[in-house]
A and B are shown apart, each in its own frame.
Chain A
Amino acid sequence: MARKSVVNGRRRALRAIGAGACLLIVRPAAATPEELAAALREMFGDRPITPGRVKLDIPRLAENGNLVPVVLSVDSPMSEQDYVASLHVFAERNPLPRILDVELGPLNGRARIVTRIRLAVSQQVRAVAVMSDGTLWSAAADVEVTVGGCDP
């Protein structure tokens, strides 16, 4: 009996992974770099975004666009006086430019996060860090996506 439930659990897990693996982005017109610029403007207004201090680690070649690991770290002491307040990840050519927003603070001790994202097509991914002093820093990475999703 116990054996059976292990097998069932595994099948359920495999089904869930299979369902996730088949994600297809069907909106024909993907977002454009202009939409990304608009999203950035909406979130940060006209505040200057300086390249640097942020490190965005993504595989240059993503075989499966449904599961792309992302490591994001920021050069910050994460002290009470100087910390990363938030991190934001954007995609240039996904149907929606926004991917993730994270709020951090001195209680984290280290400004590093890892997650897994979806990319519809080969494109540039951008990350923006908002520091406690209000300055904005960014990084960008180009990703080649081999399979963006299951074709219809």
Chain B
Amino acid sequence: MSRFGKVWVRLSENPKRGEPVEVRAMVMHPMESGFRLDNVGQRIPRHIVTSFTCTYAGKPVFRATLHPAIAANPYFVFYVLAGDSGNLEFAWTDDRGEMATHKVTLEVA
């Protein structure tokens, strides 16, 4: 069963061509580190998001490789240089092959 929950993405307002737009993105995921024990002393198996990518108009603009020391519900802020209006497509993949995706349109005046 997928442990991915809600996706939350916000862009800074009034993007201007040629200026960086701030992108804030979060996905709900436990990021089980694999170092925790349950209440009977059994190690809880690792289950983490390992990859987060963002493309802008089809071009990759951000790629992160996550390790167990990224906090639960991974949150990232990064920047994208605004060009033509286009879609930002986000994808998260965990170590069991589950995925979460999201798409927002960056409207450049």
Contact = CB atoms under 8 A, between A and B. Distances in A.
Interface of A: 12-13, 16-17, 19-27, 66-68, 78, 91, 94-96, 98-110, 112-119, 149, 152
B3 to A, nearest CB: 9
A119 B69 contact: yes
A100 B72 CA distance: 14
24 contacts: A16-B5, A23-B31, A26-B36, A78-B81, A95-B68, A98-B67, A99-B67, A99-B69, A100-B65, A100-B66, A100-B70, A103-B60, A104-B62, A104-B78, A112-B78, A112-B79, A113-B76, A113-B78, A115-B74, A115-B76, A116-B71, A118-B68, A118-B70, A118-B71
Contact of A107 (B37, B72, B80): B80
Question: B36, B67, B70 — which one has the most chain A CB atoms within 10 A of its CB?
Answer: B67
Interface in B52-109: 56, 59-82
Kindly state the interface size class of chain B when it binds its partner: 35 or more
Contact of A110 (B24, B43, B75, B79): B79
Given A19-B30, A20-B31, A115-B77, A108 B62 contact: yes
**What 3 A-B pairs have minimum CB-CB distances, sorted nearest first?**
A20-B72, A109-B81, A109-B20
Contact of A108 (B5, B33, B79): B79
Contact of A118 (B19, B33, B59, B78): B33
A110 B73 contact: no
B33 A109 contact: no
B23 to A, nearest CB: 10
Given A96-B67, A101-B65, A107-B56, 14 more contacts: A13-B28, A23-B72, A24-B37, A26-B37, A66-B72, A67-B72, A96-B68, A99-B67, A104-B78, A108-B61, A114-B76, A114-B77, A114-B78, A116-B71
A40 to B, nearest CB: 15
Contacts of B63: 102-103
B5 A26 contact: no
Given A98-B67, A99-B67, A115-B77, A105 B61 contact: yes
